Amino acid sequence: MDLFSEDEKKELIEVFNGLDEEGVGELQTSDIDIALELVGCKQKPHKVFKIISEIDPYNTGVININTFAKLVYSIRYAGLNDDNQDMIDAFVAVGGNEDTSGKVDADKLIEIIKKEFELTIDIEGLIKEIDADGSGEIEFNEFFDLLKTDLSEGKDNYDLE
């Protein structure tokens, strides 16, 4: 199943190729912010830095067209856009910091979900899954993973070639 319309594919390829100065099928990670802005996915500078560290974990300095497509899809459709103020507000409301630092006590989060929201989900099980270090403290990335809806689940056809 294709994840992008033909027009979207054309746009992504044009932007990518336009920034691929050497014509070798690679985009410099230093151009990610420009590329994202050109396809309507402008991000704040701190978010661009985080994105680059995630898509280029070995610090190669380049990404290919399919990695770029996956990134754009994630921002557009999987809730990874820069408009996460509601998520940040929720994080702050349960004990995190406005700059997404800090941690939320897992027991406090469980109590809020069960008592205040009266949800009957297996919140303990979900927290156990996302609390990677088992600390009982939920960092923003874990909090985000807990509450987001991943529209890209099961979809991995980012191939534009």
Could you tell me if 76 and 63 are in contact, meaning their C-beta atoms sit under 8 angstroms apart?
no
The tokens for 144 are: 């985000």
How far apart CA 113 and CA 129 sit, in angstroms, is 16
CB atoms under 10 Å from CB of 126, counted, come to 16
> For residue 155, what pLDDT band results from cuts at 50, 70 and 90?
very low
How do residues 92-151 score in pLDDT, each as one tens digit?
A: 888 888 878 889 999 998 888 888 877 777 888 888 888 878 889 998 888 888 876 443
- Which residue matches tokens 């336009």? 18
CB atoms under 10 Å from CB of 90, counted, come to 16
pTM (global) more than 0.85? no
Could you tell me if 39 and 15 are in contact, meaning their C-beta atoms sit under 8 angstroms apart?
yes
What's the burial of 64, exposed, middle or buried (CB within 10 Å: 0-12/13-18/19+)?
middle
How far apart CA 6 and CA 10 sit, in angstroms, is 6
How do residues 50-82 score in pLDDT, each as one tens digit?
A: 788 788 878 898 999 999 998 888 887 665 444
Q: Are strands 62-63 and 137-138 parallel, antiparallel or unpaired?
A: unpaired
Average pLDDT over every residue of 19-47: 90
